[in-house]
Amino acid sequence: MEYQHRETAMDDQTDLHRLADALIANGQDLERELDWFASQLELRLKAYFGDPSQSPPLPQEGTPPPDLSASQSSWSRFLQRYDISAAERLLIVLALVPHLRPQLLDVLLTRNDVTQRPFTEFGGYTGRPDAMAGSGFIPSIETAQFLLAGDLLTERLKVASMLEPEARLARLDVLYTSHVAPGEPRSSAALRLSPRFVATITRGQDERPAFNEYFPARRITSGLRWDELVLPEATLAQLDEIRNWLQHGSTLLDDWGMGHRLRPGYTSLFCGPPGTGKTLSAALLGKLCGCEVYKVDLSMVVSKYIGETEKNLARIFEQAEDRRWILFFDEADALFGKRTQVSDSHDRYANQEVSYLLQRIEDFRGVVILATNLKGNIDDAFLRRFQSVVHFPLPRSAERLRLWREAFPPRATLEPRLDLARLAERHELSGGTIMNVSRYAALRALARADTTILASDVEEGIRRELNKEGRAL
């Protein structure tokens, strides 16, 4: 045991050294990037305060950005992975400057001698010290247009298009713009980097997205182990197929040259009554294969507004694309139920939403799991698009007995007359229901200041659960 602790400590030290090396490499690259940004800003300001007729070159035509192709920093890998253009790069660095070296933008706080106000052309705004928001310069779309395009209207419009909500940098979960009040020009919107991107670039750590209206998915985990999953052998064998894809799919597509013949991802339908282990299995698959699992809240994804559902889904898939996430859609009937007969425009758009989701799933290089309580609720035409359909039946008596034996707290003792084998044989319950009974009986024992689980409490817990399902004891 002492050796294991020492080995774990050594692993932790190795990870810390690796993180420190990565941060040093990243810092060196960002230093070069900030120097390049400063030169571009100086070039623009010299032209603005000098001869206005001498427009400086656009970023993609002027001083090239630093060549970081030989670097392995997180910043360099990001630039190369997505083939970020010089203009996109300058936009991102502009938004990064307040996080890294805010004084570089102090020059944009200069006041116009004529109007005694900040230069409108520079855009941006400052935080209010009394609101503890800082007093540095926060760049806006107007700032980006000034820096990248000066006074060239066509180029300014191009810059604005790069900052649209549907533009590439937003889809990559990198750069957004703040909301503006009704009637205000959109160019006054502040540039905002996603917290995940800032964490990755500045700390070398990937920050998980927060669950909200813009990202309607929650990460799900489990403290159980794979060998504690109680399912029929046939179900476990089908789950192994998904595990094999997670572990070897990229080798099959890339190294074995099957990428042009097979879809890049894997889609599976989990069907079965509530409490039979669909969500737990998805969480344990992710845990076993080192993948994070995100459960998509379809009630937040599906919008009554035409076109909004596609946008909500796009945000999820764009963020999951390169992170090896498993996307878990519970109650998939909401989108994959029997297709609507087209009687009006809303029916037509509802079917378009399903078609859009199907296309995104087929293009997604990862695993998508859809779950439903009843397979019959899913349109047969959709079933043919899935790689597997995994059935989660109610556990049989032998499986129920194992669930009962593992359901109670290790510190608790069972009353001698509590016959688990009899309970398993007599009551057809799901694993989730058995855990609800265990919780009820354990809490009753704690309320008595006792550690003994009473048979009467277990029977009462079963009666309550059956009543919830409309069944009699």
Q: How far is the C-alpha of 137 from the C-alpha of 104, rounded, in Å?
A: 9
Long-range contacts of 460-468 (CB under 8 A, 24+ apart): 461/436, 461/437, 462/423, 462/427, 462/429, 462/437, 464/440, 465/429, 465/433, 465/436, 465/437, 466/427
Q: Which two tokens stand for residue 288?
A: 């076993």
Spatial contact of 236 and 284, defined as CB atoms under 8 Å apart? no
The answer to whether 412 touches 445, Cβ cutoff 8 Å, is yes
Tell me the CB-side half-sphere exposure of residue 179, using CA atoms within 13 A. 2
Q: Which residues are bridge partners to 337 per DSSP?
A: 378
Kindly give, in sequence order, each residue whose CB lies less than 8 Å from that of residue 18, ignoring residues fewer than 6 positions away: none
Q: Which tokens go with 223?
A: 């403290």
**Cβ 431 vs Cβ 466: under 8 Å:** no
> Could you give the domains of the chain?
12-203 (no CATH), 217-391 (3.40.50.300), 397-468 (1.10.8.60)
Mapping DSSP to helix (H, G, I), strand (E, B) and coil, where does residue 259 land? coil
Instruction: Judge whether 107 and 45 are in contact, CB under 8 Å.
Output: yes
Separation between Cα atoms, residue 193 and residue 170, nearest integer Å: 9
What CA–CA distances, in Å, run from 295 to 134, 215, 216, 263, 348? 37, 11, 9, 22, 27
pTM of the model: 0.65
Burial of 98 (0-12, 13-18, 19+ CB in 10 A): buried
Which residues have a Cβ under 8 Å from the Cβ of 453 and sit 6 or more positions away? 408, 412, 413, 414, 415, 418, 441, 442, 445
Q: Which DSSP string do the residues of 280-337 spell out, in sequence order?
A: HHHHHHHHHHT--EEEE-HHHHS-SSTTHHHHHHHHHHHHHTTTTPEEEESSTHHHHB
CB 155 within 8 A of CB 62: no
Largest CA distance in the chain: 96
Long-range contacts of 416-421 (CB under 8 A, 24+ apart): 417/455, 418/453, 418/454, 418/455, 418/458, 419/455
- Give me the tens of pLDDT residue by residue for the chain, a chain 473 residues long: 343 444 444 444 544 455 566 678 788 999 999 999 999 999 889 888 886 555 556 655 567 899 998 888 889 989 998 899 999 999 999 999 999 999 999 999 988 888 888 889 999 987 643 333 456 899 999 999 999 998 889 999 999 999 998 889 988 889 989 877 778 899 999 999 987 788 888 876 666 777 777 678 899 999 999 999 999 999 999 999 999 999 999 899 888 999 888 888 899 999 999 999 999 999 999 999 999 999 988 777 766 555 666 777 777 887 787 678 999 998 888 777 655 444 444 444 456 667 777 888 888 888 999 999 888 888 777 788 889 999 999 999 999 999 999 999 999 999 999 999 999 999 999 999 999 999 999 999 999 999 999 999 999 999 999 999 888 76
In the numeric block, the tokens 């970020």 are attached to 84
> 175: which 2 tokens?
């750069």
pLDDT at 343: 47
Exposure string over 139-172, b if 16+ CB within 10 A, otherwise e: bbbbbbbbbbbbeeeebbeebbebbeeebebbeb
Q: Which helix (H) or strand (E) holds 248?
A: helix 233-250
Contacts of 197 (CB under 8 A, 6+ apart): 173, 174, 175
pLDDT at position 465 is: 94
Q: Supply the pLDDT for residue 342.
A: 43
DSSP class of 173: T
In degrees and rounded to multiples of 5, residue 454 shows phi and psi of: -85, 145
How far apart are the C-alpha atoms of 163 and 87, rounded to whole Å? Answer: 11
- Alpha carbon 150 to chain centroid, angstroms: 36
d(CA 110, CA 129): 18
Contact 143, 94 (CB under 8 A): yes
Half-sphere exposure of 232 (CA within 13 A, CB side): 14
Give residue 189's pLDDT: 92
